[in-house]
Amino acid sequence: MDHFTYRDGVLHAENVPLTAIAEAVGTPVYIYSRATLERHAQVFREALSGLPRKHIAFAIKANPNLAVLKVLARQGFGADVVSGGEIARALAAGMKAEDIVFSGVGKTRAELQYGLDMGIGQFNLELEEEGAVLADLAHAAGKTASAVLRVNPNVDAGTHAKISTGKSENKFGVPISEAKAIFARLSGRPGLNLRGVALHIGSQLFDLGPLEAAYARIGELVRELRGEGHGIDRVDLGGGLGVPYERDKVPPSPADYGRMVERVTQGWDVTLMFEPGRVIVGNAGVLLTRVIWVKPGVTHPYVIVDAAMNDLARPAMYDAWHDFEAVRPSGEKIVAHIAGPVCETGDTFAMNRTIDVVRSGDLGIFRTAGAYGATMASTYNSRPLVPEVMVDGDRFAVVADRIEPASIIAAERVPDFLQD
């Protein structure tokens, strides 16, 4: 459920007509609904209420905007981060260091050190050598790093190849078959408290089967590790729950997921860590855009909008679907293609899509743009960096400025040898 609904024929975010935001801020612009964010956070938390010990760390790569993080911090969420920059953001949003999980396949020594200095609650190790380096850095600082080992359970999550992370050929985690040997070598090292295991098999999951199979394997691994004398008190179950990009394709609900987790983790006697991203923010955001032209096409017209692949990369990157709707729909429909102004054929949001009739100057939205949207934006084609707005009831605020090309040009230098 979200708070982007039509009232008197005009699409609103909570109580604010999107026409008002377009007028005040211009387009394209991302719009987040605070009430939707809060609702999603509460639904996810309630879905896990039957579990005795758990911690929810929002995967902030899905939407690292400070205002969004602030809302989630107030809901008691920590952060799952994958870089030093994301640590800085989580802390800036008021999240506690001990509530931060540091994932990421290529943490540098400097980032590990920064994480230690800040007192990060859990390091998710991606390889044995990383564990050894972390132990040494921590020991040298007179600290003990709390860590878990990310394993790759070799399951096919059944999602798009570019967001599948739990197959043996993917770059993430250590093969589950090697986990015991790595544990034996790393645990007991001064500076390291290796206390559990982690997994994350992919994103936009629509089938709980592969997740349940992966979790069951992890449960088996926990028993084996305990059998070898390791004290295991944490298991990180990752994120990955899908969201409905197309209204008639409904993913498993957080409640379905929670029931599955309760069933499969019965008797584990650990703190369960969760790293949801998309499911929290996906439907809490839309990308508002204005139609520049409706260009006649050979089969169907091209609706050329002022948002492009540099603002919302998912269609170009993952062949992703985003519903398009007019802000003031007339009720008429046409079949059209929707594309942005960037000089790439891939800058196409939809082909042969039945959409609301729109004309030059009309406003429209791409739905479900709150996750992996603004955060992947670039300035390709020297376009401005897209701004972000948060709505809260009757009010709204710009929560990220539009960065104009002039500011970006100002950060570039023409060297002496090119001055004439």
Ligand X SMILES: *Cc1c(COP(=O)(O)O)cnc(C)c1O
Binding stretches for ligand X (CB under 6 A): 59, 61-62, 80, 103, 200, 203, 238-241, 275-279
Q: Which residues pair with 10 in a beta bridge?
A: 7
- The answer to whether the annotation marks 212 as part of a ligand binding site is no
- The answer to whether the annotation marks 262 as part of a ligand binding site is no
In the bound complex, which residue of the shown chain has the CB atom lying closest to ligand X? 277
Instruction: For ligand X, give the closer residue by CB, 205 or 385.
Output: 205
Residue 278 CB, nearest distance to ligand X (Å)? 4
Instruction: For ligand X, give the closer residue by CB, 245 or 396.
Output: 245
Nearest Cα neighbor of 144 from 187, 183, 105, 101 is 187
Asked if residues 63 and 93 have their Cβ atoms less than 8 Å apart, the reply is no
Instruction: For ligand X, give the closer residue by CB, 115 or 238.
Output: 238
Instruction: For ligand X, give the closer residue by CB, 191 or 239.
Output: 239
Q: Which three-class secondary structure state does DSSP give residue 420? A: coil
Residue 348 CB, nearest distance to ligand X (Å)? 24
- The answer to whether the annotation marks 275 as part of a ligand binding site is yes
For residues 246 and 249, what is the distance between their CA atoms, to the nearest angstrom? 5
Nearest Cα neighbor of 251 from 261, 238, 242 is 242
- The answer to whether the annotation marks 150 as part of a ligand binding site is no
Residue 240 CB, nearest distance to ligand X (Å)? 4
- The answer to whether the annotation marks 240 as part of a ligand binding site is yes
Task: Supply the DSSP symbol for 135.
Answer: H
For residues 388 and 398, what is the distance between their CA atoms, to the nearest angstrom? 6
Owner of token pair 């089969």: 299
Positions marked catalytic: 343
Residue 375 CB, nearest distance to ligand X (Å)? 11
- The answer to whether the annotation marks 277 as part of a ligand binding site is yes
Residues 6+ apart with CB under 8 A from 385: 377, 378, 379, 402, 403, 408
Residue 150 CB, nearest distance to ligand X (Å)? 8
Instruction: For ligand X, give the closer residue by CB, 113 or 204.
Output: 204
Q: Which residues of 159-195 are buried (b: 16+ CB within 10 A; e: fewer)?
A: beeebbbbbeebebbbebeebeebbeebbebebbbbb
Binding-site residue numbers for substrate are 278, 314, 318, 344, 372
Binding-site residue numbers are 240, 275-278, 314, 318, 344, 372
